[in-house]
Amino acid sequence: RWNNNGKWDDTLLTGEERALQKFYAKLLTLCNRERALSEGLFYDLMPANYDNFEFDSTKQFAFLRGTGDELILAVVNFDNKEVDVVVNIPTHAMDFFGIPDNGSFNAFPLLSDSKFNTVFSIDSPIRIKVGATSGELYKISSC
């Protein structure tokens, strides 16, 4: 169906398949555009969230990718329902990427159409809503 008998268009796709195609097109574009994703170091946030009762480590996954000047938070929800999660980002993570803790940070969503920034700090974890079987990438910057 994806190739539509060699036409390679979306004529035969369902609405859900078109949405999935759009999501992956945006994700691949970000992977090429954002240096933190294409070249950055990886920091696993799971150990900092195993004891977090507002983060189900059996259904959610979170990590950071970053370079010296760019940082991206990835949060994935494998549950079949939308969830509100709280992600702890330890001080060591910011130290690992060489990012000074100036008190608070902005998290700007890159995958969704939302233009709503989330503000968080090391002492006040980031609270976000993640769609069912979906995820979000957040570009992190100091406030």
pLDDT, tens digit (0-9, with 9 covering 90-100), for 94-134: 899 988 877 788 899 999 887 778 888 878 889 999 999 99
* Same domain, residue pair 41 and 1: no
* Same domain, residue pair 56 and 29: no
Q: What is the CATH number of the domain that holds 116?
A: 2.60.40.1180
Q: Which domain holds residue 3?
A: 1-33
* Same domain, residue pair 24 and 83: no
* Same domain, residue pair 1 and 71: no
What does the pLDDT look like over 36-80, one tens digit per residue?
Answer: 999 999 999 999 999 999 999 999 999 999 998 889 999 999 999
Q: What is the pLDDT of residue 34?
A: 94
* Same domain, residue pair 130 and 74: yes
Q: Is the dihedral of CA 86, 130, 29, 106 positive or negative?
A: negative
- Indicate the pTM of the whole model: 0.88
* Same domain, residue pair 49 and 110: yes
* Same domain, residue pair 17 and 60: no
* Same domain, residue pair 28 and 57: no
Q: What is the mean pLDDT of residues 14-39?
A: 92
* Same domain, residue pair 29 and 89: no
* Same domain, residue pair 81 and 138: yes
* Same domain, residue pair 15 and 70: no
* Same domain, residue pair 57 and 126: yes
Number of domains in the chain: 2
